[in-house]
Chains A and B, each alone.
Chain A
Amino acid sequence: MEKILLLGFSDQASLKLLPEGATVAASLAASLECSWEVALVGKGVQEAANALGSCGAAKFYGVEGDEFAFARYSSDLPAAEALLKASQSTLILVPGSSRANRVLSALAMRLGGRADTHVTRVAVEEGKVLANRWFYRQRMEACFSRSQRPWVISLEPGNVEPQSFNAATVSVEMVSVALPDDAKRTKVLGLKYPAGTAQTIRPDAQLLFVAGAGWTKKQPDGELHVPEAEKTILDFLEKTQSSLGSTKSLVDQTGGGDAVLSFMTHLNQIGQTGSTPRHAKGLATCCHGEEPHVVGWRFITERRAVNIDANCGWARGKTDVLYVADAFAVMKKVNELLSE
Chain B
Amino acid sequence: MANAYQIIVCGSLVPDPLQTLEPISSPSGPALKNELMLPAALDPWAGHALYEAANLAKKIPGTQVWLVSLGPKAKLQQLMMNIAQKAAFTFVPVEGNAGGFMSATDSASALVKAIEGIEGLDKERMLLFGGWESASRGAGSTLQLIGDALGIQDQFMGVDEIKIQEDGSFTVLERVEGACHQESLCAGGPAVLGWATGNLPEPTNNPQVGMVNMRSIMPALQKAAKADVGLDGVEYVSVSLPKQLRDTRIVKDMPVDEIAREIVEWIKK
Contact = CB atoms under 8 A, between A and B. Distances in A.
A149 to B, nearest CB: 10
A333 B257 CA distance: 6
Interface in B231-266: 232-242, 244-254, 256-257, 259-264, 266
A117 B142 CA distance: 12
Nearest to A244: B179
Nearest to A78: B153
Interface string A109-150: 110001111100000000000100011111111111111100
Among A105, A193, A290, A324: residue with most chain B CB under 10 A: A105
Contacts of B240: 140-142
A200 B176 contact: no
Interface string B44-79: 110010000000000000000000000000000000
Interface in B85-141: 100-101, 104-105, 135-141
A87 interface: no
A-B pairs, 3 with minimum CB distance: A317-B245, A201-B179, A333-B260
Contacts of B139: 105, 116-118
Interface in A275-302: 281, 283, 290-292, 295, 298, 302
Contacts of B45: 273
B179 A102 contact: no
Among B105, B178, B244, B252: residue with most chain A CB under 10 A: B178
B42 to A, nearest CB: 12
B248 A135 contact: no
Contact of A98 (B23, B176, B200, B245): B176
Interface in A234-287: 240, 251-252, 254-256, 266-269, 272-274, 281, 283
A186 interface: yes
A86 interface: no
Nearest to A71: B182
Contacts of B247: 317, 320
Given A106-B147, A192-B181, A317-B244, A142 B186 contact: no
Given A146-B233, A333-B260, A320 B248 contact: yes
A210 interface: no
Interface stretch (A20-28, A41-49, A220-228, A308-316): A308-316
Contacts of A254: 199
Contacts of B148: 105-106, 109-110
B207 interface: no
Interface in B179-234: 179-188, 196-201, 232-234
A208 to B, nearest CB: 11
B141 to A, nearest CB: 4
Contacts of B4: none
Contact of A105 (B144, B239, B250, B267): B144
Contacts of A102: 144, 155-157
Contacts of A298: 242
B21 interface: yes
A189 interface: yes
Contacts of A336: 260
Interface in A300-333: 302-304, 306, 310, 314-326, 329-331, 333
Interface of B: 14-15, 17-18, 21, 23, 30, 32, 44-45, 48, 100-101, 104-105, 135-141, 144-145, 147-149, 153-158, 160, 171, 173-188, 196-201, 232-242, 244-254, 256-257, 259-264, 266-267
A319 B104 CA distance: 34
Contacts of A58: none
Contact of B246 (A99, A191, A318): A318
A315 B75 CA distance: 33
A73 interface: yes
A85 interface: no
7 contacts: A109-B105, A135-B136, A144-B237, A185-B187, A188-B182, A266-B198, A322-B250
Interface in A178-217: 182-183, 185-194, 199-201, 203, 207
A167 interface: no
A125 to B, nearest CB: 8
Nearest to B169: A185
Contacts of B104: 105
A138 B261 CA distance: 33
Contact of B250 (A186, A303, A324, A337): A324
Nearest to A294: B244
A139 B236 contact: no
Contacts of A203: 177-178
B154 to A, nearest CB: 5
Nearest to B131: A273
A135 B137 contact: yes
Contacts of A114: 105, 232-233
A144 B267 CA distance: 37
Among B15, B101, B157, B177: residue with most chain A CB under 10 A: B177
A97 interface: yes
A335 B42 CA distance: 42
Contacts of B145: 105-106, 109
Given A136-B100, A183-B153, 18 more contacts: A71-B182, A73-B154, A98-B176, A98-B182, A102-B156, A117-B139, A117-B140, A136-B21, A141-B242, A187-B184, A281-B267, A304-B266, A321-B251, A322-B249, A323-B262, A325-B256, A331-B260, A336-B260
A145 B235 contact: yes
A122 to B, nearest CB: 13
